[in-house]
RNA sequence: GCUGAUGUAGCUCAGCGGUAGAGCAGCGCACUCGUAAUGCGCAGGUCGUGGGUUCAAAUCCCACCAUCAGCUCCA
């Protein structure tokens, strides 16, 4: 009567929605899922039990609060991909038994596994590994968790000749329980949890192989890292690969060349060139910037690129930023190329006495700075060695801090909205190499928090990520592909005013110390243009487009009218080009579309006769005939309002 | 900086020990044409740079330069 007794011993578990479900004692989480729905039976990858993630193979206890996760849940996806990483490691060990296992976590997009292998893996190797992965998935090995003692674990991995695993275990406290996960012949040290079976993984795609240091430190040995991604269905993988393709298609380095906007010569690694068309976009961005700053009460200055060593010693850059700076000698004296604009702005501030009545004093500067970046990190316009910061330094009374920060937040918000970006805010606090006392940092940080809270903006805190002179608020904007870019930043600074002995004359007639804000909106004009290029996929809105209208002749007899139309557009301030080549219309239209010109005007007999133009809108095709002045009026409005259409 | 891959005409790429090739772009000629590539012809390269091996190097070896991917995700 053993069976009867089991049936009677039901235990209660609490489900996600609060309902109580009774299951036989000794049930696993997998059993519970299977009893709830067919969908869960198939798709549950892991369970959250009383807040902790647990393998589906583990048993439930009475009163457990249980929630089942699938690939759709972030944590479920992480487990799914972590198991994928184990499958990758198993496949690699089969094909390359001499490769040593290290670590293999799931990451934001996919997973990786690092191996110490005598031979570097090639792309062909990856294809073979992928085949082996398919076999492992097909074999559908159960993934079995096992708890062993510290000693047993070390002995096991010593026997397996896996020195990195032994090292990892040795770093754990000796009394700790160590968990092992096995699937088929493969066993890995792992905290888990994992999928119950290898067959639950749908498709795995290995993406790339690259070097990576053991524990991320350059002092350690370089390992071979294989990156991969996995999905339940081929369709999901295809979509992911399509998204990668789309990002490649939008790569600003590629578009910058195709559209003739900018480029980088071998002779100047990290020092970009702007070509005439890129220069137009850049100038439009700067015009917009000047216009906004005028309206927000800023004055503009320009400080020199090269300044004497003594200045950089006083500012702290000599001690805190030296390895990123370029130096030169002039008349036997040491000079540095500026990596930041703040000391220049401070020198201007110090050219005369300031009254409390003129604060806040907002000094803006499009300042060209140079910073030494390691050769391996350069990347088009996004990571360069010289760039133009759309900088500003605000000198103010301590009681103006919160209002000023809110003012800057409003300005940055206005900037990003113009380009159709949404954004996220982060607050960074005191770093290791900071200048200034804890009290000052405390005060500065709480001022930033106060401004954010007053604006009701949600933010994330990054401990220890601030600048050496003060805490900061960073703006991470999100582009049309959902990627994040750090651009704007607001940094509060009590240190520089102290170092440079900055003062203002207060109401009481005596000298007081002002507070400083450093801030950028674009961040770097060059980088922002790179981001915009990818965001718009090269199809810039009319206000930024290097050529706004291209006028195309059908046959050579139409050229005089084409030139007349172009002249009228030009007179109304529109950037226009004429294509009067002896080519077919189809050819010229194709050129115009490839150049991503917002409007093409096609002119043939009909247009000449009726003195009209035929409008073709970028990406939409022929939109029919129009009167020229009507077209110009609409386009001017589109440009004026900076519409993204 | 480190690991790996790459570097051939303005662009995209083929050639991988026997002395440089295509398509597009450019130039010329013909066609005068209605919404994403008309046809024919011409011209264009010290094969990233510098060494070496060889009768012979774009091709093999070494060094350097540049580019690309990665080097934060921690059993």
How many Å from the CA of A396 to C1' of B14? 65
Question: Which nucleotide lies nearest residue A101, CA to C1'?
Answer: B75
Contact A33, A47 (CB under 8 A): yes
Confidence (pLDDT) at A2: 45
Q: Indicate yes or no: strand B within 7 A of the C-beta of A179.
A: yes
Q: Indicate yes or no: strand B within 7 A of the C-beta of A22.
A: no
Q: Indicate yes or no: strand B within 7 A of the C-beta of A168.
A: yes
Specify whether A393 is catalytic.
yes
Q: Considering only residues 236-265 of protein chain A, which place a Cβ less than 7 A from any atom of strand B? A: 253, 257, 264
How many Å from the CA of A355 to C1' of B64? 59
How many Å from the CA of A123 to C1' of B5? 10
Catalytic residue among A389, A400, A491, A548: A389
In this complex, the residue with its CA at the shortest distance from the C1' of nucleotide B71 is A212
Cα torsion A432, A438, A442, A445 to 10°: value is -30
In this complex, the residue with its CA at the shortest distance from the C1' of nucleotide B33 is A584
What is the per-residue pLDDT across A153-169, written as a single tens digit (0 to 9) for each?
A: 999 999 999 999 999 99
Specify whether A342 is catalytic.
yes
E strand or H helix at A460 = strand A459-462
Catalytic residue among A77, A86, A430, A472: A472
State the pLDDT confidence band at A3, using cuts at 50, 70 and 90. very low
Q: Indicate yes or no: strand B within 7 A of the C-beta of A508.
A: no
Q: What is the mean pLDDT of residues A585-599?
A: 96
- What are the residues whose beta carbons fall under 8 Å from the beta carbon of A429, sequence distance 6 or more? A441, A445, A461, A462, A463, A464, A465, A466, A471
What is the per-residue pLDDT across A114-139, written as a single tens digit (0 to 9) for each?
A: 999 887 787 778 888 999 999 999 99
Q: Indicate yes or no: strand B within 7 A of the C-beta of A211.
A: yes
A4: pLDDT strictly greater than 80 = no
Structural domains for chain A:
2-70 (3.10.20.30), 75-245 (3.30.980.10), 262-535 (3.30.930.10), 549-641 (3.40.50.800)
Q: Lowest-pLDDT range, A248-252, A482-486, A549-553, A557-561?
A: A482-486
Q: How much of chain A exceeds pLDDT 70, in percent?
A: 99
Strand B: which positions are within 7 A of a protein CB?
1-5, 7, 11-12, 30-38, 65-75
CA distance A153 to A172: 11
Q: Considering only residues 81-110 of protein chain A, which place a Cβ less than 7 A from any atom of strand B? A: 103-105, 107-108
In this complex, the residue with its CA at the shortest distance from the C1' of nucleotide B3 is A211
Specify whether A371 is catalytic.
yes
Q: Indicate yes or no: strand B within 7 A of the C-beta of A169.
A: yes
Catalytic residue among A371, A385, A527, A614: A371
CA distance A291 to A550: 28
Q: Indicate yes or no: strand B within 7 A of the C-beta of A304.
A: no
Please, what is the average pLDDT of chain A? 91
How many Å from the CA of A117 to C1' of B4? 13
Confidence (pLDDT) at A8: 60
A645: pLDDT strictly greater than 80 = no
Structure tokens at A438: 């804890």
Angle between helices A150-159 and A163-170 (to 10 degrees): 170
Q: What is the mean pLDDT of residues A178-183?
A: 92
Q: What is the mean pLDDT of residues A543-561?
A: 96
A552: pLDDT strictly greater than 90 = yes
Question: Which nucleotide lies nearest residue A609, CA to C1'?
Answer: B34
Q: What is the mean pLDDT of residues A416-434?
A: 89
Structure tokens at A4: 């009867």
ipTM attached to this prediction: 0.93
Q: What is the mean pLDDT of residues A331-347?
A: 95
Q: What is the mean pLDDT of residues A289-310?
A: 96
How many Å from the CA of A614 to C1' of B30? 29
CA distance A108 to A78: 8
Q: Indicate yes or no: strand B within 7 A of the C-beta of A458.
A: no
CA distance A617 to A499: 57
Q: What is the mean pLDDT of residues A230-253?
A: 91
Specify whether A177 is catalytic.
no
A345: left (phi over 0), alpha (psi -120 to 50) or beta: alpha
Q: Lowest-pLDDT range, A59-73, A334-348, A527-541?
A: A59-73
Confidence (pLDDT) at A7: 52
Catalytic residue among A48, A100, A518, A618: A518
CA distance A440 to A407: 22
What pTM value is reported for the model? 0.90
Q: Indicate yes or no: strand B within 7 A of the C-beta of A438.
A: no
Confidence (pLDDT) at A62: 83
What is the per-residue pLDDT across A465-504, written as a single tens digit (0 to 9) for each?
A: 888 888 999 999 988 888 888 899 999 988 899 999 999 9
Catalytic residue among A354, A370, A393, A550: A393
């Amino acid at each position: 009567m053993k069976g009867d007794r089991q049936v009677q011993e039901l235990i209660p578990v609490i489900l996600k929605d609060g309902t109580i479900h009774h299951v036989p004692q000794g049930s696993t989480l997998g059993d519970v899922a299977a009893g709830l729905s067919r969908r869960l039976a198939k798709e549950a990858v892991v369970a959250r039990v009383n807040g902790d993630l647990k393998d589906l193979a583990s048993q439930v206890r009475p009163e457990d609060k249980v929630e089942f996760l699938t690939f759709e849940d972030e944590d479920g996806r992480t487990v799914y991909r972590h198991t994928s990483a184990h499958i990758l490691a198993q496949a690699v060990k089969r094909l390359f038994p001499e490769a040593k296992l290290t670590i293999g976590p799931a990451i934001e997009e996919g997973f990786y596994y690092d191996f110490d292998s005598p031979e570097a893996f090639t792309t062909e190797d990856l294809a073979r590994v992928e085949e082996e992965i398919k076999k492992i998935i097909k074999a559908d090995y159960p993934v079995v968790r096992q708890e062993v003692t510290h000693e047993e674990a070390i002995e096991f991995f010593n026997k397996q000749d896996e020195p990195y695993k032994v090292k990892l275990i040795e770093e754990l406290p000796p009394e700790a329980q160590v968990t092992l996960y096995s699937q088929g012949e493969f066993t890995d040290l792992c905290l888990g949890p994992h999928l119950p079976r290898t067959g639950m993984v749908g498709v795995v795609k290995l993406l790339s192989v690259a070097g990576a240091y053991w524990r991320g430190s350059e002092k350690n040995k370089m390992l071979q890292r294989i990156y991969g991604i996995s999905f339940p269905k081929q369709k999901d993988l295809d979509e992911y690969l399509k998204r990668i393709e789309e990002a490649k298609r939008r790569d600003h380095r590629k578009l910058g060349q195709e559209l003739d906007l900018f480029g980088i010569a071998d002779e100047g690694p990290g020092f970009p060139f702007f070509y005439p068309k890129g220069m137009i976009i850049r100038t439009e961005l700067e015009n917009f910037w000047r216009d906004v700053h005028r309206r927000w009460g800023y004055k503009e200055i320009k400080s020199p690129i090269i300044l004497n060593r003594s200045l950089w010693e006083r500012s702290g850059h000599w001690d805190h930023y030296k390895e990123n700076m370029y130096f030169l000698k002039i008349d036997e004296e040491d000079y540095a190329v500026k990596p930041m604009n703040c000391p220049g702005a401070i020198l201007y501030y110090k050219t005369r006495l300031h009254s409390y009545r003129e604060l806040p004093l907002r000094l803006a500067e499009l300042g060209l700075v140079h910073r030494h970046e390691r050769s391996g990190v350069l990347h088009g316009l996004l990571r360069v060695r010289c760039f133009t910061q759309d900088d500003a330094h605000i000198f103010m009374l301590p009681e103006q801090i919160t209002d000023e920060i809110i003012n800057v937040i409003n300005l940055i918000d206005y900037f990003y909205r113009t380009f159709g970006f949404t954004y996220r805010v982060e607050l960074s606090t005191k770093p290791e190499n900071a200048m200034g006392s804890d009290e000052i940092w405390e005060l500065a940080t709480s001022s930033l928090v106060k401004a954010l809270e007053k604006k009701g903006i949600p933010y994330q805190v990054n401990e220890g990520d601030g600048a050496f002179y003060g805490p900061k608020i960073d703006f991470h904007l999100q582009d049309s592909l959902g990627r994040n870019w750090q651009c704007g930043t607001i940094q509060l600074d009590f240190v520089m005013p102290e170092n440079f002995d900055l003062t203002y004359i207060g109401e009481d007639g005596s000298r007081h110390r002002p507070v400083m804000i450093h801030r950028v909106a674009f961040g770097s004009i060059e980088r922002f243009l790179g981001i915009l290029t990818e965001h718009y996929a090269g199809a810039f809105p009319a206000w930024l487009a290097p050529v706004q209208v291209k006028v195309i002749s059908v046959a050579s007899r139409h050229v005089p009218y084409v030139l007349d139309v172009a002249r009228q557009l030009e007179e109304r301030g529109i950037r226009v080009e004429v294509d009067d080549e002896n080519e077919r219309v189809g050819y010229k239209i194709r050129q115009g579309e490839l150049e991503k010109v917002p409007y093409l005007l096609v002119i043939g007999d009909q247009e000449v006769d009726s003195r009209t133009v035929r409008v073709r809108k970028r990406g939409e095709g022929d939109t029919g005939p129009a009167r020229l002045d009507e077209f110009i009026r609409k386009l001017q409005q589109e440009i004026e309002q900076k519409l993204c259409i």
